[in-house]
Structure 1
Amino acid sequence: MTEPAPPHRRPEENARHGRLAARPATPTAPGPTGLVPVPGPDREPPALVYAPAGGDGPYRLVVLLHGAGGSARQGLDLLLPLADAHRLLLLAPQATASSWDLIVEGFGRDVRRIDGLLDTLFAAYPVEGVALGGFSDGASYALSLGLTNGDLVDAVLAFSPGFAAPLVTHGRPRIFVSHGTDDRVLPVDPCSRRLVPRLRSLGHPVEYAEFTGGHEVPTPVRQRAVEWLTGPVRGR
């Protein structure tokens, strides 16, 4: 006889739907601090974890997703300079292909890998609050995965996203979106200027930061995003 599905996941929903099963728990052993490579299975590229040293209380976990053709290090660097000041536990996976599974072939391999990495972190670090963040294709994936898993993810940081395409949705995480007005890779008009109103119409609280610039994440935008993430939650 099969075990019943946990209450946070419907029986028919799994990694092929983008669903994450990992949940925060009491750590079984203290995790290392600083920059920590986490080897992937089957010789896959390692993920990177950064845990600030010192401090009391749980971390705010942010999973950071690189753009197409990028690296885990590029994902980590999105918020690394701000991690210590805001006690952010950063997890930067490496996509198993040139970009994230949803964009390449549909949810599956990367969802399972991220789920396993989350299980590892939850067993080693005290976590209060889980956010997804990313740039470009990573931002689109963060939005898609975040809307799918709003019962785990309470916030999404989407820097220059192209779209959001969840197959199922749970909860209503709050969302930060930034986009450059001169973006030539993912132009702002068909992307964020359409996406933000749609997200708001679905009931998501959205903070939108449009800036003069291209396909990039300027330092002031990163700072604003982290202050929004760690500051008081505003009403819708």
Structure 2
Amino acid sequence: MIARETLKKGHISARPKNTLPTNGFEPGIHSFHLDNIRDGFLYVPKNYNKDVPTPLAVMLHGAGGNAEHGLNLLKPYADEKNILLLAPASRSVTWDIIAKENFNGDIIFIDQALTIAFENYNVDRDHIAVGGFSDGASYGLCVGLSNGDLFTHIMAFSPGFYHTVENKGKPAVFISHGVKDHVLPIAPCSRRIVPRLKRLNYNIQYKEFQGEHEIPADISATAVNWFLET
């Protein structure tokens, strides 16, 4: 359980195990069984090998979305690239820092989901990502920057903002945004976020594209390759 003061800062307590997990689910999609209504999914790639450290990505859906939306952000690459995927659902219609202006139930849920993953899978400590699309991208930045001692990478597709109480570590950051985005316009969003993070000495990979509020296939493929190769 996350301590109250730790929760207020958005800090996650779950960590990969020092011993090789002996359990684990079969390849495919599995529910966390942490909530009867807004649960989440774990995707195990078909070539997962418990003897080999495997990259893991926590992917977060946009406002009004669900865990399946988050899972689908990178699912097309999971088998080919051998990536474990975690896709939690927000406790409300969007993530706590956006809905309530503080870290709350969503951090607890993500911590619980990561605990399940770390207890059952051999996770590559050098490749643990968090990210998402739209509100999920904003929250991915909030969580990733707050927990850079756990997350090595952040993948934020069309974020609107970020807010942290106490940053930890220096995760690498990938941000993409469509120049014709009318939902979260690029000028007050990514074009403000990126310079701010650069001033804080984060390693940023930034991609603008000729599109709207979306993730083109070449952008998501570029993000995945960046995650695995960085």
Matched AA of 1:200: K
- 1:229: which partner in 2? 227
2:46 is matched with which residue: 50, 53, 56?
53
TM-score calculated relative to the size of structure 2: 0.93
| In 2, Cα distance between equivalents of 1:91 and 1:159 | 17
The reply to whether residue 24 of structure 1 matches residue 16 of structure 2 is yes
1:220 is matched with which residue: 218, 224, 227?
218
- What runs of 5+ residues in structure 1 fail to find an aligned partner? 1-8
- 2:162: which partner in 1? 164
SS in 2 for 1:14: helix
The reply to whether residue 95 of structure 1 matches residue 97 of structure 2 is no
**Cα shift readout 1:77-124 (whole Å, capped 9, x = no counterpart):** 100000111111000000010100111111010000110110011011
- With 12-21 and 154-163 compared, the bigger mean Cα shift is at 12-21
SS in 1 for 2:159: coil
Aligned length: 222
Matched AA of 1:187: P
Moved over 3 A (4+): none
Aligned residues: CA RMSD = 1.4
Partners of 1:176 and 1:225 within 8 A in 2: yes
- 1:111: which partner in 2? 107
Partners of 1:44 and 1:96 within 8 A in 2: no
| In 2, Cα distance between equivalents of 1:33 and 1:68 | 29
2:30 is matched with which residue: 36, 45, 49?
36
| In 1, Cα distance between equivalents of 2:83 and 2:202 | 23
Partners of 1:62 and 1:91 within 8 A in 2: yes
Matched AA of 2:115: D
Matched AA of 1:16: K
- 1:86: which partner in 2? 81
Matched AA of 2:122: P
| In 2, Cα distance between equivalents of 1:205 and 1:141 | 19
TM-score calculated relative to the size of structure 1: 0.90
Partners of 1:135 and 1:160 within 8 A in 2: yes
| In 1, Cα distance between equivalents of 2:123 and 2:217 | 26
Matches within 5 A, 1:118-137: 118-128=114-124, 129-137=127-135
| In 2, Cα distance between equivalents of 1:51 and 1:188 | 34
Deviation at 1:224, TM superposition (A): 0.4
